Structure 1
């Protein structure tokens, strides 16, 4: 069954308010709070989202759509290959950090389908980035490496930085940690 324009608009508003509530309260936010935030009844929410899990799934998909759009804009924009490599890998807008992967254990417990969707997104959508890395190897901008190994290293680092806030507690914000990771990947550890 096709959605009406008003249902589509309501879904968009609910995803936005859901993300805002999630930023503030984590998974503790309720559908009642979401309804109150946009001045509708809880019954109206359930007309477009049959459950909180359905809303969370859409929120995750929406956040990753924004991330992929941001990456594509970087790839299509100006800059050197090196600049694009660094930027595309660390191009994680607020939506990504708002996902707060510290809550993955809780997601696994309460919403396993949502946790699986987050992991699926972390592991997919790499084609443009891998093509850029391949181009960088072909143009001798970076040395030839195994792309699957590099992809896993980057994905694991991103997931680890998001899930473990130890670095932030040590005064290293998430964005700086990713930038440092990219510097180490691109420049290596050895002093030349």
Structure 2
């Protein structure tokens, strides 16, 4: 099949299919399997991405850009309170990726170190909307005065730990479950009031 669409559409199709294949096989799928899943030639994939490492690197940005898009939708939703928006943004996960098991992503650090570095970089940036929202909650009196930098560091470091080690695998916990638990602890603390 010859691809008849724009290069950007093909790139998105490849990356989206890569994520879906990751859902089924983790990082262990081949480019042949990806081409077969997409119904295109491997040559077409290599026209867009010269190798699997580059594709995984671009997949990091693709995934995080989708998260940012979801964040924008949350911020625009007038039906959500400030607290609801904070909870939603801290635990945001694009709907189409909610059933993906990210618990094995710790393998990325060793197998695809540049992609891992990009994950860390993206985790540590792009916090402006979240910080504004938490500060808005403080002004409204629905969030107690806190150092937002500490919240950012806590969440970033925790997610990074999930990606660095096999913590989730050893504890038979999915990434969405772990993220929801972290958000709950950040929002509610650990002490019963």
Q: TM-score category by the smaller chain?
A: 0.7 to 0.9
| Range that drifts further, 35-44 or 84-93 | 35-44
| Range that drifts further, 15-24 or 35-44 | 35-44
Please list, as runs of the form range in 1=range in 2, the aligned pairs for 1:67-106 lying within 5 A after superposition: 67-78=67-78, 79-93=80-94, 94-95=96-97, 98=100, 100=102, 102-104=104-106, 106=107
Q: Per-residue deviation at 1:139?
A: 2.1
Normalised to the residue count of structure 1, the TM-score between the two structures is: 0.83
Unaligned 5+ runs, structure 1: none
Matched residue, 1:136: 137
CA separation of 1:17/1:182 partners in 2, compared to 1, >3 Å: closer, same or farther? closer
| Distance of 1:173 and 1:18 partners within structure 2 | 20
- Residue deviations 1:26-48, cap 9 Å, x none? 12111111112222222222111
CA separation of 1:66/1:40 partners in 2, compared to 1, >3 Å: closer, same or farther? same
Normalised to the residue count of structure 2, the TM-score between the two structures is: 0.83
CA separation of 1:23/1:180 partners in 2, compared to 1, >3 Å: closer, same or farther? closer
Please list, as runs of the form range in 1=range in 2, the aligned pairs for 1:141-160 lying within 5 A after superposition: 141-160=142-161
2:62 aligned with 1:62, yes or no?
yes
Q: CA RMSD in A?
A: 2.5
- Residue deviations 1:133-173, cap 9 Å, x none? 1111122221211111111112233344566325862xx65
Tell me, yes or no, if the aligned pair for 1:168 and 1:174 is still in contact at 8 Å. no
| Range that drifts further, 93-102 or 181-190 | 93-102
The size of the alignment, in residue pairs, is: 186
Q: Matched residue of 2:6: which SS?
A: helix
| Distance of 1:18 and 1:99 partners within structure 2 | 14
